[in-house]
Amino acid sequence: MIQPRTSLRILCSCILSLLPTSSLSAPAPHSVEATVPFSFWVDGSELPAGRYQIEHIDSSTYSLLRSKDRKGVHNVYTLPLDAEPIREQNAKLAFRIENGKYYLYGGFGPFGGRVVTVESSRPAPSGDSRAGVPIAYR
């Protein structure tokens, strides 16, 4: 017969072995930020120039753009352009420029290339019709 104390140790060991170890060794989540030097449009809403925190919600397809002064928040839905991840130091937001206005076109980072859903029917901006803003991971 097994001692009650030994049974408890075995039970605890079994439960601990079922827990994922990745959460114990995973690095702390990044703070993802971008400083946009111009006002810009996202899905029909104009956002002012400033510092923005980019928060991925649930998946790589739904994000929040939250101004660092906490005065503005905007939902951003995206579609994949490709699955090729971009190194953090090369990550950026891409803007389409049309008639002097800047429109958030998409982003390139660890999730690969993403295009804002409302921009997906437009050709990718290039040359003078494109602006990029670095994304900083902290």
Domain extent listing, the chain: 24-137
- Res. 21: pLDDT tops 60: no
Six token digits for residue 95: 């803007």
Six token digits for residue 23: 């959460």
Which residues fall within 8 angstroms of residue 95, CB to CB, at 6 or more apart?
40, 102, 103, 104, 105, 125, 130, 131, 132, 133
Give pLDDT, residue 7: 43
Alpha helices, H only, the chain: 4-18, 22-25
Q: Hey, is 4 helix, strand or coil?
A: helix
Q: Hey, is 128 helix, strand or coil?
A: helix
Phi-psi region of 123 (alpha: psi -120 to 50; beta: other; left: phi over 0): beta
Beta bridge partners of 83: none
Give pLDDT, residue 134: 97
Give pLDDT, residue 2: 55
Percent of the chain with pLDDT over 90: 56
- pLDDT bucket at 20, cuts 50 / 70 / 90: very low
- pLDDT bucket at 36, cuts 50 / 70 / 90: very high
What's the rounded Cα separation, in Å, for the pair 137 and 2?
Answer: 53
What's the rounded Cα separation, in Å, for the pair 62 and 43?
Answer: 13
